[in-house]
Amino acid sequence: MKNTLIPLDIIWVDENMKIVHIKENAHPCEEIPCPIYLPKTKAKYVLEINSGLVSELNITESGTFKLNFIPSNP
């Protein structure tokens, strides 16, 4: 991944918050052209986390993702 210093796990999520694809251990770009990582199916959101967390947290494709929004001015 261009301009990235550490390996990442990449999680793609659709509009229903279902995990549609995971790429584990995507390494920083070391040569041009950089690899392009795309989901297997249509996704609306993407989450990049430290490499290894997908396995550590038992995150799997077809799982669901929940976001809790916290207002900045309660």
Output the pTM of the full model: 0.86
In the chain, the number of structural domains is 1
Residue 62: inside a domain, yes or no?
Answer: no
Residue 6 DSSP SS3: coil
Residue 51: inside a domain, yes or no?
Answer: yes
Q: What is the pLDDT of residues 37-72, one digit of tens each?
A: 999 999 999 999 999 999 999 999 989 988 787 778
Residue 24: inside a domain, yes or no?
Answer: yes
Q: Give the dihedral sign, CA 44/2/26/56.
A: negative
Residue 41: inside a domain, yes or no?
Answer: yes
Give the pLDDT confidence score for residue 72 in this predicted structure: 80
CA-closest candidate to residue 63, choices 23, 22, 24, 18: 18
Q: What is the pLDDT of residues 12-34, one digit of tens each?
A: 999 999 999 999 999 999 888 99
- The pLDDT confidence band at residue 8, using thresholds 50, 70 and 90, is very high
Supply the range of the domain harboring residue 33.
8-56
Residue 1: inside a domain, yes or no?
Answer: no
